[in-house]
Amino acid sequence: MAKTRPIQPTEVELQMLRILWELGPSPVREIHARLNADKGTNYSTTVKMLSVMLEKGLVKRNEEASPHIYRPVLTREAAGRRMLSDLIEKVYDGAAMSLVLQALASTAATKEELAEVRRVLDQMERKQS
pTM as predicted: 0.77
**Hey, CA dihedral for 89, 90, 92, 96, is it positive or negative?**
negative
Domain shared by 83 and 40, yes or no: no
Adjacent-strand bridge partners of 39: none
Q: Is residue 5 part of a domain?
A: no
Domain shared by 15 and 60, yes or no: yes
Q: Which domain holds residue 41?
A: 11-72
pLDDT in tens, 89-112: 999 999 988 988 898 888 888 899
pLDDT in tens, 22-78: 999 999 999 999 999 888 889 999 999 999 999 999 999 999 989 999 999 999 999
Domain shared by 68 and 83, yes or no: no
Q: Is residue 104 part of a domain?
A: yes
Domain shared by 102 and 82, yes or no: yes
Q: Is residue 4 part of a domain?
A: no
Total domains, the chain: 2
Domain shared by 59 and 92, yes or no: no
Domain shared by 116 and 85, yes or no: yes
Domain shared by 47 and 86, yes or no: no
Domain shared by 62 and 19, yes or no: yes
